[in-house]
Chains A and B, each alone.
Chain A
Amino acid sequence: NAGVMQNPRHLVRRRGQEARLRCSPMKGHSHVYWYRQLPEEGLKFMVYLQKENIIDESGMPKERFSAEFPKEGPSILRIQQVVRGDSAAYFCASSVTGGSSYEQYFGPGTRLTVT
């Protein structure tokens, strides 16, 4: 049973470009969470999605960031017009359902570097 997949593992973008990060949850999981890890920091919650629904995006910056989890295909975290401060590791996690007793399984992360 494959774990949570994220690609690319490393992404380099110049300031002003767009970054698209992909997350394929574990088989049978329909709940996806995105977290961001800035240098020297712990992970911080960004957004929680179910298939075709954004449940909570309270941790996501209001501008330039968006996330989706379509009916088919991976979840996408999109950052438009990237700036140096967006450089971070972005982790996706998935769970079979959203209740607190259900463990979130993490992917290996995507390290975004903005030059």
Chain B
Amino acid sequence: AQTVTQSQPEMSVQEAETVTLSCTYDTSESDYYLFWYKQPPSRQMILVIRQEAYKQQNATENRFSVNFQKAAKSFSLKISDSQLGDAAMYFCAYRSAIRGGSNYKLTFGKGTLLTVNP
């Protein structure tokens, strides 16, 4: 079974600074997707960024980028120019891309609570 580990329960960053959230995962599969979700106080789950394991290039979405290290099974999220609205719980998630298996299940880490200080 796949597992996702987020070793930082809480992180804080100054507004306009950069912060990196860590995520490691364990899988025996070679084809999969990785995600970062944001959960603000409203509790709505918002997809921040997605990475396909077969792609070597790291995904980027505006101020959000990832550092995907497949061999190390590491998937960190970098938030540049942090804004007050970035304050939220961030979840790392894994999803298999293997056909015929349980490739619809998202497996989540326990989350990292990000505080942005003005």
Contact = CB atoms under 8 A, between A and B. Distances in A.
Query: Do A and B come together as binding partners?
Result: yes
Interface of A: 31, 33, 35, 40-45, 48, 55-56, 58-59, 89, 91, 93, 95, 98-101, 103-104, 106, 108-109, 111
Interface stretch (B14-22, B57-65, B70-78, B94-102): B94-102
B106 A104 contact: yes
B102 A109 contact: no
B42 A35 contact: no
B55 interface: no
B91 interface: yes
Given A40-B110, A41-B110, A42-B111, A48 B104 contact: yes
Nearest to B32: A100
Nearest to B33: A100
B31 to A, nearest CB: 9
Nearest to B107: A45
Most buried by A among B42, B45, B91: B45
Contacts of A45: 105-107
B108 A43 contact: yes
A56 B33 CA distance: 20
B108 A100 contact: no
Contacts of B102: 56, 58
Contacts of A43: 45, 91, 106, 108
A42 B109 contact: yes
Given A42-B109, A43-B106, A45-B106, 5 more contacts: A31-B104, A43-B45, A44-B108, A98-B104, A99-B104
Given A44-B108, A56-B102, A108-B42, A103 B47 contact: yes
Given A91-B45, A108-B44, A35 B106 contact: yes
